[in-house]
Homo-oligomer: A and B are copies of this chain.
Amino acid sequence: MPDTTTPEPEFDPRVRAQYADWARASIRYADLDPNGHVNNGAINEYFEDGRVRFRNARMAKFGDDILTGFAIARFAVDYHAPLGYPGEVEIGTVVKRIGRTSYMLGQGVFSGDDCIASAEVVTVYFNSDTGSSQPLTEELRSVLEAAMIAEA
């Protein structure tokens, strides 16, 4: 996380109440590994879906020009428990930190109240003309702040 300027409150990714937005995904048979568990790659797809829904819900108003400027720079996931088939998962998403040119999301994949996996995802805002990172606009910052972890 190159340029953090906002302090990070205490955060337990396994607690559902920490998350601002929720999405749902159904588990597919094709997600299963030879060992009969859901493959880690499928869990990573659930996280991606949570991010896209978050973006669509909160940033769609900015139009495609702004949105195509975002790229994921880092994805770090902790796998806490195995997951079976069939079933549904819920994906919680929240803004953990806002930097000058990037922000970090916290995410959790839940089966009921069980946190199957949690992740931190750093997204950088690029200028598509120059290919360099650029400062988040005030509009983007205020949308991100509205989705941050509530202080205790």
Contacts and interface: CB of A to CB of B under 8 A. Distances in A.
Interface string A28-47: 11101111100111001100
A114 interface: no
The number of chain A residues touching the other chain, given as a range, is 35 or more
B76 A77 contact: yes
A30 B52 CA distance: 10
11 contacts: A24-B26, A26-B88, A30-B39, A41-B48, A44-B44, A52-B85, A73-B78, A74-B76, A74-B79, A75-B77, A76-B77
User: Nearest 4 pairs between A and B by C-beta?
Assistant: A76-B76, A29-B52, A26-B26, A30-B45
Contacts of A25: 26, 28
A78 B44 CA distance: 14
B40 A75 contact: yes
A79 B76 CA distance: 11
A135 to B, nearest CB: 21
A71 interface: yes
A60 to B, nearest CB: 12
A74 B77 contact: yes
A149 B32 CA distance: 31
Interface in A101-141: none
Contact of A41 (B45, B68, B74): B45
Given A74-B76, A78-B73, A79-B71, A41 B32 contact: no
